[in-house]
């Protein structure tokens, strides 16, 4: 009977608001994928939208499974989970499948997935456990240890795939959580100097080690009109697609840039452009508002967490999703270089969608258990 009472209370505290926002964005994404890939030149309809719908259901099941058990078990298993994630990243470099010039996938029979996507969550769990175990400000040696294990190590492994976008997102998330923990003034001053001095000095070295396609993306960002039919084509078509939507958009299933194949990566990283073309500025503003409400809910969850581990975990997951959103929006608007970062919940991709659902499941879990249950 006591267990039943607890379960009823948890169900009552379940965050239906966050789940509703999540499902609304995902369903909009499935509809947009369908529109972006509908046949115009050919008569064959790719099944991307069906796969995305199936992955949404799998993600929903994963979310429910994540919510059932108290998130405190993540704290107990944090370092084991993080070590497992590092092993998966190493396996990718050793036996991973290659595709499109990258080595990012592991194959388990008929199933292929990107370990770097799942690792995003495992990394935040590990950092949260480490930071919550430290009392007071972060001092010199704990900072160096955390930077080595949770910052530089995964960044280098992911960069080797290569997957610069994900690597930068995780490194930025690491520093965000470090700042949230608060560090000694000397360390903060050193970080500021490092941020101001090192990038310009190391720029030439970094440039020499970039792949050709990465260099082209940077050149296209700086001078998109220098080669509008070559390296600048993606950004130019992205701007054209968004601009053609004007205020109210062309209407659902009336966009042309995707079906006529003017816009590459129309159902993955640049899915937002297709949505903007069909729904215009008004629709684009609504979808941005849905994302902002979701992120604000994540911040609220962090502030209401019952413990420090839950607070860092909620902050890290929310910031990570927010960073993906901001970078993707910057890419499609031509305000940032194209770095292959999908927009959460809308872009086509099974591993990404399912792991993002797990992230939301953890946030709901933290919010459900924010109050101590006493009888």
As for how many domains the chain has, the answer is 1
> How far, rounded to the nearest angstrom, does the alpha carbon of residue 338 sit from its chain's CA centroid?
15
- Cα–Cα distance measured from residue 301 to residue 315, given in angstroms and rounded to the nearest whole number: 8
Does the residue 128 lie in any domain? yes
User: What's the CA gap between 307 and 27, in Å, rounded?
Assistant: 33
Tokens representing 134?
Answer: 């430290």
Give the Cβ contact number of residue 181 at 10 Å.
22
Which residue in 121, 113, 205, 217 sits closest to 165, CA to CA? Answer: 217
8 Å CB contact between 211 and 162: yes
pLDDT at position 302, please? 95
pLDDT, residue 213, reads: 64
Q: 132 with 307: CB under 8 angstroms?
A: yes
Q: What pLDDT score does 173 carry?
A: 94
Structural domain containing residue 348: 15-368
* d(C-alpha 218, C-alpha 230), whole Å: 13
Q: Model-level pTM?
A: 0.90
* In-domain check, residue 10: no
Q: Which residues pair with 99 in a beta bridge?
A: 102
Residue 5 lies in a domain: no
- On whether residue 375 sits in a domain, the answer given is no
pLDDT tens, per residue, the chain with 375 residues: 434 444 666 677 889 999 999 999 999 999 999 999 988 766 777 889 999 999 999 999 999 999 988 898 999 999 999 999 999 999 988 888 876 667 777 877 777 788 889 999 999 999 999 999 998 888 888 888 999 999 999 998 998 887 888 888 999 999 999 989 888 788 888 778 777 766 666 556 565 656 666 666 666 666 666 656 666 788 888 889 999 989 999 999 898 888 888 888 888 999 999 999 999 999 999 999 999 999 999 999 999 998 999 999 999 999 999 999 999 999 999 888 888 889 999 999 999 999 999 999 999 999 998 764 433
Structure confidence at residue 194 (pLDDT): 73
State residue 5's pLDDT score. 43
| Helix 308-332 × helix 233-244 angle, to 10° | 90
DSSP bridge partners of 111 = 108
Query: Is residue 374 a part of any domain in this protein?
Result: no
Asked if residue 119 lies in contact with residue 85, where contact means CB atoms within 8 angstroms, the answer is yes
Q: Is 150 contained in some domain?
A: yes
Which CB contacts under 8 angstroms, 24+ apart, belong to 323-332?
A: 323/169, 323/172, 323/173, 324/169, 325/291, 325/295, 327/165, 327/169, 328/269, 328/272, 329/272, 329/288, 331/238, 331/269, 331/270, 332/238, 332/242, 332/269, 332/270, 332/272, 332/273
Contact 39, 336 (CB under 8 A): no
pLDDT reported for residue 120 = 94
Short-list 145, 171, 177, CA closest to 157: 171
Per-residue model confidence (pLDDT) at position 325:
97
Give the per-residue pLDDT at 200: 64
* Residue 320 included in any domain: yes
CB 116 within 8 A of CB 89: yes
171 within domain boundaries: yes
Longest dimension (CA), the chain: 71
């Amino acid at each position: 009977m006591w267990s039943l009472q607890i379960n009823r209370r948890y169900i009552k505290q379940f965050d239906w608001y966050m789940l509703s926002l999540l499902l609304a964005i995902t369903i909009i994404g499935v509809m947009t994928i369908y529109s972006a890939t509908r046949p115009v030149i050919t008569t064959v309809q790719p099944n991307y939208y069906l796969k995305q719908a199936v992955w949404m259901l799998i993600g929903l099941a994963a979310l429910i499974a994540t919510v059932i058990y108290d998130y405190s078990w993540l704290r107990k298993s944090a370092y084991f989970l993080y070590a497992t994630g590092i092993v998966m990243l190493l396996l990718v470099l050793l036996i991973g499948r290659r595709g499109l010039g990258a080595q990012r996938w592991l194959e388990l029979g008929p199933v292929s997935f990107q370990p770097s996507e799942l690792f995003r969550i495992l990394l935040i769990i590990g950092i949260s456990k480490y930071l919550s175990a430290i009392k007071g400000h972060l001092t010199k040696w704990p900072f160096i240890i955390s930077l080595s294990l949770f910052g530089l190590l995964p960044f280098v492994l992911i960069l080797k795939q290569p997957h610069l976008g994900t690597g930068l997102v995780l490194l930025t998330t690491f520093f965000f959580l470090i700042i949230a923990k608060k560090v000694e003034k000397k360390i903060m001053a050193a970080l500021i100097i490092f941020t101001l001095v090192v990038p310009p000095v190391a720029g030439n070295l970094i440039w020499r080690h970039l792949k050709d396609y990465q260099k082209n993306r940077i050149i296209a960002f700086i001078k998109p009109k220098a080669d509008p039919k070559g390296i600048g084509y993606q950004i130019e078509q992205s701007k054209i697609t968004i601009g053609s939507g004007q205020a109210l958009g062309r209407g659902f299933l009336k966009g042309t840039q995707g079906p006529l194949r003017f816009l590459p990566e129309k159902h993955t990283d640049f899915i937002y452009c297709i949505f903007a073309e069909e729904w215009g500025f008004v629709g684009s503003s609504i979808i941005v508002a849905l994302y902002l409400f979701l992120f604000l809910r994540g911040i609220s969850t962090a502030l209401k967490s019952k413990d420090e581990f839950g607070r860092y975990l909620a902050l890290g997951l929310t910031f990570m999703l927010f960073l993906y959103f901001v970078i993707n929006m910057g890419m499609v608007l031509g305000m940032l270089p194209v770095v292959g970062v999908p927009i959460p919940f809308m872009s086509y991709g099974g591993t990404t969608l399912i792991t993002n659902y797990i992230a939301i499941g953890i946030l709901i879990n933290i919010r459900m258990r924010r109050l101590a249950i006493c009888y």
